[in-house]
Homo-oligomer: A and B are copies of this chain.
Amino acid sequence: MTNLTTNTIEHNIRNNMLLKHGSPQFIDKICKNSHTFQVPKNHIFFLREQQAEHFYIVLHGWVKLFRESIDGNQAIIDVLTSGHIFGEGALFENMIFPYSAEAVESMQLIRLPLLSLKNEIETNPKMSLAMLKSISKHKNQKNMELEHRTLQNAPQRIGCFLLKLLPKPESKEAQDIQLPYDKTLVSSRLGMQPETFSRALSKLKKEVNLEVKGGSITVTNVEKLTLFCCSACSTIFPCGDHE
């Protein structure tokens, strides 16, 4: 392990919303027991139901967390990128991963020992409070997603997804967005078919004056977009369904 990677790892751990609340000893320990590695595109590197010994931080690239039904369909749990951790949920599931994880593209990860985290949560009140905050936030996002599925149609859900990508959420100015991963994945993240996504996006485009060129989208009228999406929803953007 080069000094550079060590620094990168430490930097990532110290900046992670959850881990940074750990004690110095804890940080030290997991840094020492950490490991970075590369995952090739489309590689599934752990499976749901599998015994969990590690959790992960994304250094670079995107991971897809998902579950598969008996008859072969999949439901996307989340799609994460740099700085986000995952796999830690196994702590509350008898050390069994509650979802599978696949590299959306070639990707770099930090692997960290789950037992150390478990121990830190159990012994450091600061850490367990941080964990509470973190899970609670996730739970809220899930509630928002469920609300979206219930109350919003396909174009509105797409619009909401775009709003979350705005570089300056608070500003009303025209803004450029780049879709973070391919449209097929976006569509399944939003619980619809690729064809539906395509058609819904062009409907949205007409409705709120987007400019779409491949994965690049310009939102000319943020207010119009906000109104279009959030009127079906319990909260107006920015609504907390973030990160």
Partner-B contacts on A (CB < 8 A): 48, 67-71, 73, 75, 77, 89, 92-93, 98, 121-123, 125, 128-129, 131-133, 135-140, 142-143, 145-147, 149-151, 191, 230-234, 236
Contacts and interface: CB of A to CB of B under 8 A. Distances in A.
Contact of A147 (B67, B125, B151): B67
A185 to B, nearest CB: 14
B233 A70 contact: yes
Contacts of A69: 151, 231-234
A216 to B, nearest CB: 28
Given A67-B234, A71-B231, A75-B234, 13 more contacts: A48-B234, A69-B231, A69-B233, A70-B230, A70-B236, A73-B151, A75-B146, A92-B140, A122-B125, A122-B129, A125-B128, A139-B142, A142-B142
Given A92-B136, A232-B70, A233-B69, A145 B147 contact: no
Contacts of A149: 146, 149-150, 191
A234 B68 contact: yes
A103 B129 CA distance: 32
A240 B93 CA distance: 10
A24 to B, nearest CB: 19
A50 B123 CA distance: 34
A17 B227 CA distance: 42
> Sorted from nearest, which 5 A-B pairs have the closest CB atoms?
A142-B142, A92-B136, A67-B234, A139-B139, A75-B147
A47 B93 CA distance: 33
Nearest to A145: B146
Nearest to A140: B98
A146 B135 contact: no
A136 B89 CA distance: 8
A230 B125 CA distance: 39
Contact of A92 (B122, B123, B128, B133): B133
A154 B146 CA distance: 16
Contacts of A234: 48, 67-70, 75
A13 B150 CA distance: 34
A238 to B, nearest CB: 15
Contacts of A231: 69-71
